[in-house]
A and B are shown apart, each in its own frame.
Chain A
Amino acid sequence: MNATPKNAADDLADVERVLAGDVRAFEGIVRRWQGSLLNMAWRYCRDRERAEEMAQEAFLRAWRGLGQWRRDGSFSTWLFALAANVFRSELKRFPTVTVPLEAAPEPSGAASQLNALQERSLHDVLRRAVLALPLRYREPVILFYFHEMDVAQAAATLRMPEGTLKARLSRARALLRRRFPHLEAEQAAMAFCRKTEKEA
């Protein structure tokens, strides 16, 4: 999902061709960024079908707004910022069905009984709980992990100062920790189980 120099050069060339009237050149852009945009959309809604629709809409808006990309910033940052706007407004129009953060169940049970399925379920519940965070905390979390924990990139995508993003991330983590107080212990227990299973 990070822009390599080759990608950047290809993006620039394709954008120039599209702006010159070659619509088919846009295919190169879609081919390079479809995975990233789909995964980003997925993190916003956690619904595969809807994520594809949202990513498609983002590409269409990108095609319409290509002329607005200023060459001083990277194409990927511009594309992700535009996509974040599209996803945000799509979710405002048709919100995802989420349970309130307080109602998100925390899988419980003796740590030793937790198996791979439960671990997966715990992870899934936590990821879905992100969707129940207030939008101002939810988006920094989504984009921070989407950008492989790069604060600068996430802040650039959201067009907010890095300090604000860090503060919101910290608050979001505090909310999630409060909701999942045993997470650390369960993670440690699961790691222990995995280790003993391997040794056995």
Chain B
Amino acid sequence: MKREPIDEILATEEELIPSSGFLPSVMERVQEAAAAPPPIPFPWLRAVPGMVVAAVVLGGGAVELVRLAIPAMKGLALNPPHLSAAVAQPLEQAGWVALALAASLLSWLLSRRLAGSSGL
């Protein structure tokens, strides 16, 4: 292969010598790792029954939800809901409450950020 100037420069690099503390510090980390207790294996035997039960419950719930939702959606498509004034007013108030909560959360986040950046 023909050596180009790039080859000359990249191939002639000064070698670094490891510091005197390098070998001891590697061996210290290795000794620490060797002395550490082996990681606790995941308790599959205990977890599997719980996971199966959770999967059955979630799966059953999802099936039931879909089963109930289909007729409800059909009904909604045929008769669109009309909210009465008695229902609409609390909903409006809930909206204002949600907005106030969101504003509080935002100002709390902002103050935390400002305090964080100034080191307080």
Contacts and interface: CB of A to CB of B under 8 A. Distances in A.
Contacts of B7: 145, 149
Q: Is the interface of B mostly helix, strand, loop or mixed?
A: helix
Nearest to A146: B13
A24 B30 CA distance: 9
A60 B18 contact: no
B48 interface: no
Interface stretch (B21-29, B93-101, B102-110): B21-29
B27 A26 contact: yes
A55 B17 CA distance: 12
Interface string B19-57: 100110111011101100000000000000000000000
Interface residues of B, number: 25
Given A35-B17, A42-B16, A52-B18, A149 B11 contact: yes
Contact of A34 (B5, B11, B13, B26): B26
A63 interface: yes
A110 B22 CA distance: 44
Q: Is the interface of A mostly helix, strand, loop or mixed?
A: helix
A130 B10 contact: yes
B22 A187 contact: no
Q: Which interface class (under 10, 10 to 19, 20 to 34, 35 or more) fits A?
A: 35 or more
B29 A60 contact: yes
Interface string A8-33: 00000000000000011011001100
Nearest to B11: A145
B9 A35 contact: no
Nearest to B5: A187
Given A23-B30, A63-B33, A145-B10, 8 more contacts: A31-B23, A34-B23, A34-B26, A35-B16, A38-B18, A42-B16, A63-B30, A149-B1
Interface of B: 1, 4-11, 13, 15-19, 22-23, 25-27, 29-31, 33-34
26 contacts: A23-B34, A26-B27, A31-B23, A34-B23, A35-B17, A35-B18, A39-B16, A48-B16, A55-B22, A56-B26, A56-B29, A59-B26, A59-B30, A60-B30, A60-B33, A122-B9, A123-B9, A126-B9, A127-B9, A127-B13, A130-B10, A145-B10, A145-B11, A148-B11, A173-B4, A187-B5
